[in-house]
Amino acid sequence: NYEFGQILQVIKAAEILGLVDTPGGDVNVTDLGREVLKSSILRRKEMIREQIRRLPIFGSVLQMLQRTEEGRADRDVFLEAFALFLPEEDSERLLDTVIDWGRYAELVGYNDDSEEVYLNP
């Protein structure tokens, strides 16, 4: 019961994480993808965390947070950086995706009240 566009987004995300390959329009689960599917939730998070750390956008976010004294920064700092370095992208949507994936992988957290992104201890 998903829209086609939503399915494509999930497939693209899985491909970025190395969980599937998409040769010729087919979607094939990789060995890593099969391992993730068979693993416990804690192991899945570890595996996804390893994959996410390899993505340049996450590397940049983690570096920015590590350079701060408290390991946290305002949402606006990332929005400005994304707008500067990735002007074709929707900065809000990109940051929300980074936060969602980072929270799942327990790399970063987000405080809705203060609108701060922070390193997960």
Pairing of the two strands 72-74 and 108-111? unpaired
Per-residue model confidence (pLDDT) at position 121? 78
- pTM for the whole thing? 0.86
What is the C-alpha separation between 42 and 99, in angstroms, rounded?
19
Per-residue model confidence (pLDDT) at position 28? 97
Per-residue model confidence (pLDDT) at position 22? 94
H or E element at residue 43: helix 41-53
Per-residue model confidence (pLDDT) at position 35? 97
Q: Which residues are CB-contacts of 94 (< 8 A; sequence separation ≥ 6)? A: 57, 82, 86
pLDDT tens, position by position, for the chain (121 residues)? 789 999 999 999 999 999 999 998 899 999 999 999 999 999 999 999 999 999 999 999 999 999 999 999 999 999 999 999 999 999 999 999 999 999 999 999 999 999 999 999 7
